[in-house]
Each structure stands twice: as structure tokens, then as C-alpha cells.
Amino acid sequence: MTAEFVDLRSDTITQPTPGMREAMASAPVGDDVFGDDPTVNRLEQSTAELLGKEAALFVASGTMANQVALRCHTRPGDEMLLERKAHMYWYEAGAPAALSGVTCRLLSSDRGIFTPDTVIAALRPVDVHFPRSRLLAVEQTHNRGGGTVWTLDQINAVCEVARSRDLLLHLDGARLWNAAVATGVTEKEYAGGFDSVSVCFSKGLGAPVGSALVGSSSLIERARHVRKQLGGGMRQAGIIAAGALYALEHHRERLVEDHANARFLALGIADIPGLTTNPALVATNMVYFEVESQPAATMVERLRQKGVLVLATSPDTIRAVTSLAVGTESIERALELLREVAASSPG
């Protein structure tokens, strides 16, 4: 993507920083399938310690981390409970059914956050006619909820009710780093009640590739086997693990800048006639806004022609995401072009 574009499509579009590139170029490597890549081993150990778990597994993507966890926790015919617009259901290509033979029980929510009562109401009776309710998944932060953050009390409440019903627990923590920065609650505290947690290095942290799955040593041993089955065994992976490790050590605290830029963007959008958003609901690095004067897809294309990249998420809704790649000056430029496009008729 050329430098003149303000790219707000996602926080996955970040480029490695010079320090990260240097770390990747000089990383010691080995064969990770044999377990002798020192950089991968260091990344896995650091991630596990940070989240308060026994072990971690480096994988190619957040989707792989989530689906490996699901495969480890369930057997074909089981049912997973998760929010109706969760990433594991919405954006992972039908993988629960295709890879694990698992059905999804979808939960209603308030911007991605559901209650213990919602979980209880969704549980199946023990009966030969029904699938076995086996796993509850939580997404933190919640993407399609607007980058919303579960409080620790909310997470603990649903974990408690899940445990009382013998459910296993998985946290899709692709943007767990953002939640920790936004609230001051540590990643370890958020992860405490879960059997497994996935975290992503290639979104807000800015690494070019990679996620991790964390959990007990026995879970990760099983997960390593599943990763191999899925074609995810990597060889001299330290080259990319070094980027993730650099991101983990250097880019977590700076996420506060992305959150500030998202609030700045939301406040500006709220003042543009024809666009609607609520800045008070912007908790992290995502801004969702509604378009009144034209279809969202039309506005996305017109903005692209002007040099601003965003995504339409419904016929009348657009998502913009701030990241390491977008500074305050770029946000100002994006707002100027948003005003221009919103004020003119399409076509």
C-alpha cells in the first residue's frame, strides 16, 4: 500500500519497525518441529509467563490458535457456546464444523458482552437428542462489538457459571493486549479463569506474523500434535518469532496511542453531518460509524479514491481501526476527507 493512503481497514496492516526488522534478521534459529529453535522457545516461554499459564505454542495465525484449542477441547458432535458475532463463528471460514465437527450455540449480547444468565439459558439439557455443551468461548476485545472490553468482573462471572456447569473455557484474546492497556487489568488476570487463551502478535503489536495458544502443559502437548496435523509445523520459525517477541517486549505500552487516536477519530466523525457514532463507546482502537446519505460500500469506495481505506461491515456501517501505522496527522487527514465525501452526493 502506497504511503499516501491512510489505512484504517485493520490493525493487521502494520509494517515491521526498524528495530523489529533488525531483531528478525539477527535471530538465532533452529528446527521448531524438533523443538530446538531458541527464539521460538523464548517467545513461547515469555508468552506463557505473561499470561500465567504453564506453556504456549507459537502458530501462524489467530484463527489457527482458536481452532487448535477447539480441537483439543472437544470431540465431533459437541457444541460450543459463543457470542453470535464472535470471530470464531463469523470470520473463521466455518472451521468449527469443518475441522472439529463442532456445532455453535450462539448467544445474544450487548455489544459482544453476554451475561451468566444468557449462558445458563443456552445450555442443553442432558439428553440423547442434544449435542453435548462442552466449551464456552469469550472474545476480548470483541471485534464486531466495537472493540469492546469485558471487565474482569464480567469475565469472572461467566467463568464461574461455566465451571459450575462443567464447561471448558477458551478466551479468544487476539486483542487482549488492548484490553489490558485500556483497563489496567493485566493479561494474566484476564486469562486466569480460562483453560486456553489465544493471543495475536500481528495486530496492534505490529509483528508481521504469528499468534500463540497458551494453557496447561498437557493441553499444549496435545495442541502441538494438532498443529502438525493442520500443516502448521514450522522449521526455522525463529525469524518470524523474533518479530513477535520484539513486539511483545516493545509495543504493548504504546497501544494507548492507538486508543487515543480512535477517540480523536470518533469525536471528529460525530461532528460530521450524515455520519453517526458515539465516542463514549470507543474503548480501544476501533470506531464503528453509520452512514445516512449513501450506502456504506459506496462511501468506502469514494474514500478509497481520495486516499482513505476503511471497511464496510453492513449496508450502512463502516469500521475504522487505528494502529501503529496511523498517527494523529493521518487521523486529521482522514477526518478532512470524511467530511468532504459525506457532504457531497455520490456519482
User: Nearest to residue 23, comparing CAs of 325, 241, 206?
Assistant: 241
* Mean pLDDT across the chain: 97
What are the strands, taking DSSP E only, across 160-254? 168-173, 196-200, 211-215
Of all residues in the chain, the percent with pLDDT exceeding 90 is 97
pLDDT at residue 63 above 50? yes
pLDDT band per the 50, 70, 90 thresholds, residue 79 = very high
Q: For the chain, list the domains and their CATH numbers.
A: 16-250 (3.40.640.10), 254-343 (3.90.1150.10)
pLDDT of 347 reads 66
Q: What is the pLDDT of residues 3-60, one digit of tens each?
A: 589 999 999 999 999 999 999 999 999 999 999 999 999 999 999 999 999 999 999 9
**Average confidence (pLDDT) over 246-268:** 98
Q: What is the pLDDT of residues 305-343, one digit of tens each?
A: 999 999 999 999 999 999 999 999 999 999 999 999 999
User: Nearest to residue 8, comparing CAs of 227, 253, 313, 241?
Assistant: 313
**Average confidence (pLDDT) over 177-195:** 98
pLDDT at residue 1 above 50? no
Determine phi and psi for 159, rounding to 5 degrees.
Answer: -65, -40
pLDDT of 345 reads 76
147: which DSSP letter?
S
**Sequential DSSP letters for 18-82:** HHHHHHHHT-----GGGT--HHHHHHHHHHHHHHT-SEEEEES-HHHHHHHHHHHH--TT-EEEE
pTM of the model: 0.96
User: Higher confidence at residue 92 or residue 125?
Assistant: 92
**Distance of alpha carbon 346 from alpha carbon 171, whole angstroms:** 42
Amino acid in the structure at residue 60? A
pLDDT band per the 50, 70, 90 thresholds, residue 2 = very low
pLDDT at residue 266 above 90? yes
